[in-house]
Amino acid sequence: MTITNQTRLRASKPRGFHTRWRALRLFAAAALVGAALSGCTGEQFQKGYILPPGALEQIPIGASQDQVLIVMGTPSTVATLDGEVFYYISQRSERMVAFMNQRVVDQRVIAVYFDKNRRVRRLANYGLQDGKIFDFISRTTPTSGQEMSYLTPIFKLLSFN
């Protein structure tokens, strides 16, 4: 008699509960796998100087060196050949999947050239375009050997490949 009573109790329970519980467990497992895989998606890395928005527009030609320091902050490096030059160096890289090698997306060197009176003579925003050093402000590639010799080692130091 107890066997038939247990059989009747099992038969009387609605099967929808088990189906819903199984669906909930399946959904929870899928969400857990999705969360684990989302940690493996791409990452971006910023190294060096981060240019504040609108900073270059605040530095007109003829501005003082102190004004440049207030707007831009301390430079990454300073050159003192043929007048003083402030260099602000940055690099942006990314990797698509965790544990993969990083790929350089953008490299920039912002150069602020000063005259003998410590006034801004020229601004340059150097980057890489098609593998060549390119000034994004004047839209030119420097041809003089003097600027190339200063900037090429900086870009070579920044690239880790």
Helix (H, G, I), strand (E, B) or coil at 112: strand
Task: Flag whether pLDDT at 137 surpasses 70.
Answer: no
pTM, whole model, 2 decimals? 0.57
Task: Flag whether pLDDT at 121 surpasses 60.
Answer: yes
pLDDT digits (tens, 9 = 90+) for 11-21: 555 556 667 77
Task: Flag whether pLDDT at 6 surpasses 60.
Answer: no
User: Domain segments of the chain: what residues?
Assistant: 43-159
Q: Please state the rounded mean pLDDT for residues 65-73.
A: 92
CA pair distance 10, 93, nearest whole angstrom: 61
CA pair distance 125, 87, nearest whole angstrom: 10
Instruction: Tell me which of 1 and 156 has the higher pLDDT.
Output: 156
Number of Cβ within 10 Å of residue 5's Cβ equals 9
Instruction: Tell me which of 79 and 140 has the higher pLDDT.
Output: 79
